[in-house]
Amino acid sequence: MDDGGIAYHYVDEAGDLTLFGRRGKCLLGTEGVSLCFMVGVARIAAAREFRERLNELRHDLLADPYLQNIPSMRPGVSKTVRGFHAKDDCPEVRQAVFRLLVKWDIKVQVGVRRKDSLAKEARLARSKGILWQANSVYDNMVKTLFKPSLHKADRNVIAFARRGKSAREKALAEAIERAKANFERDTGMPSDRPTRILPSVPSESCGLQAIDYFLWALQRLYERGEDRYFNYLAPHYRLIMDFDDKRSGRTYGEWYSDQNPLRRGKIMPVTG
C-alpha cells in the first residue's frame, strides 16, 4: 500500500499470442516462438520510493566504467539506457536489479496459458465458425488475476503495458469491472473501489520494469527448466495460475501459492 490508501498495480506480459503463420501453419516449435503466454501483475508497496531507487540504480550502473562498453549500456541504444528489460540487460545488470527486487515489498500474481492448448482452442473455434480473438484471452486473464485484489485498498491505480499500437483502455476497464463483479458475486463483499487505468510503456514505468523481471524469471523456469532466477524471487510470487495444467481434473488448472509452492518438478512439461 502506498500513501493515501492507494494500491499500485503493474501489468505486463511475456511471450505473445501469435499462434499461426501464413496459410494457417502453426508456429509452435519454430525458433524464437514462445511456448507459453503469461500475464503478470505486480503490486508494489511504496511505489514512488521504488521508482526513485530503481532509477538511482540505473544511473549508477550507466556510470560504472566496467559496464560502459556493453552495447545495451551505450547512449542512443533503446535498451538499459532507457529502462531495465531482463531479456536485453547484461548479467551484471540483471544481478543488480534482482538484488533490489528481492528486498522490496512486491507481491506478484501470474496467469499462464500454454500455446499448444490455445492453438487447439483456436482450431476448434474455427471449425465451428467462431472468431477466435487473442485479445479475449488476454482480457480473461486480466479479469481472473484482479478478481481477488481490488477490494483491499481505498483506491487502485493499474498501469498496463501497451499491447502493440493500441492502449485498449475500454476493453481493460471492462475486464476490471467484470473482476469486481465476479468477486462480489462469489464472496458477497463489496469491491467497488475507485480504479484508475493508465496505459504506459516500460521505459516510462519502473513498476512495469519490475514485473518484466518477474515474468522473465518464470518464463525461464517454464520453457527452459532453469529455476535459479525464479527460486531467488520465489517469496514474491503470491499466486501462479497454470490454467492449462488439468492433470488433477480442476476446471481452472493448477494454481500455485504458499499452500502449493511451485517447484520445477511440479510443472507439467511445456510442448510446442
Q: List pLDDT tens digits, range 188-236.
A: 988 888 999 999 999 899 999 999 999 999 999 999 999 999 999 999 9
The answer to whether residue 272 is domain-embedded is no
Residue 120: count of CB within 10 angstroms of its CB: 13
The answer to whether residue 191 is domain-embedded is yes
The answer to whether residue 54 is domain-embedded is yes
The answer to whether residue 216 is domain-embedded is yes
* H-helix segments, the chain: 47-62, 91-103, 115-127, 134-146, 169-187, 206-224, 228-233
CATH of the domain at 104: 3.30.420.10
The count of structural domains within the chain is: 1
- Residue 241's SS3 state is strand
| Residue-by-residue DSSP string for 23-86 | GG-B-TTSTT--SEEEEEEEEESSHHHHHHHHHHHHHHHHT-GGGTTSGGGSTT-SSTTT---T
The answer to whether residue 201 is domain-embedded is yes
Enter the pTM of the model: 0.94
Which of residues 166 and 150 earns the better pLDDT score? Answer: 150
* pLDDT tier for residue 3 given thresholds of 50, 70 and 90: low
Query: What range does the domain containing 19 cover?
Result: 3-266
The answer to whether residue 261 is domain-embedded is yes
The answer to whether residue 197 is domain-embedded is yes
The answer to whether residue 271 is domain-embedded is no
Per-residue pLDDT tens over the stretch 76-108: 666 788 899 999 999 999 999 999 999 999 999
